[in-house]
């Protein structure tokens, strides 16, 4: 199995979700199944079917998170020393050369990507274009509207 890159923060979020699933959600769904069983005929019991489906989802998510955490390569961006190069975990400050708009993104693992938080997945087109670049480099990113050019203004490991 290949390693799954995660920032230290992303790994903590997955651990918290796993804890919640095991200590809160799993017992709740087991209780809901028991209540639905007590109602009698299971063949036409919608509550039972819904609870079993929820249980299946919870168990699948627990297995998924367990697998990711066991294969995780946890990276603390604050300890990186990539000499100004864009790497996993780095925060990159960019300027769109077309409209001079400035933006920043942190390159993170797939599970922690959140565009509202300015966190982009390592597998996204912009992250793939930025990896290995330095401040001052110009990169072309294939976007739905065509190629966008960005200048790398700064790279930080925060």
> So what's the pLDDT on residue 46?
85
How far is the C-alpha of 7 from the C-alpha of 14, rounded, in Å?
11
Is the separation of the CB atoms in 96 and 148 below 8 Å?
Answer: yes
Closest by Cα among 139, 133, 140, 124 to 154: 133
Mean per-residue pLDDT for 65-82? 90
Residue 1 in this model has a pLDDT that exceeds 70? no
pLDDT, tens digit, 9 for 90 and up, residues 119-150: 999 999 999 999 999 999 999 998 888 899 99
Q: What is the pTM of this model?
A: 0.81
Closest by Cα among 58, 72, 154 to 110: 72
96 has which bridge partners? 150
Domains, the chain, ranges and CATH? 4-75 (1.10.287.180), 77-156 (3.10.50.30)
Mean per-residue pLDDT for 81-85? 87
């Amino acid at each position: 199995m290949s390693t799954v890159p995660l920032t230290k923060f992303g790994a903590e979020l997955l651990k918290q979700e796993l804890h919640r699933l095991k200590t809160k959600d799993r017992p709740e769904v087991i209780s809901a199944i028991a209540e639905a069983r007590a109602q009698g005929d299971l063949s036409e019991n919608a509550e039972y079917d819904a609870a079993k489906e929820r249980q299946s989802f919870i168990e699948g998510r627990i297995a998924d998170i367990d697998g990711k955490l066991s294969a995780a390569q946890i990276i603390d961006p604050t300890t990186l020393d990539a000499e100004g190069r864009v790497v996993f975990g780095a925060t990159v400050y960019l300027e769109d050369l077309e409209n001079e708009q400035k933006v920043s993104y942190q390159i993170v693992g797939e599970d922690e990507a959140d565009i509202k938080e300015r966190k982009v997945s390592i597998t996204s087109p912009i992250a793939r274009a930025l990896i290995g670049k330095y401040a001052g480099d110009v990169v072309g990113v294939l976007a739905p509207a065509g190629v966008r050019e960005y200048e790398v203004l700064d790279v930080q490991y925060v």
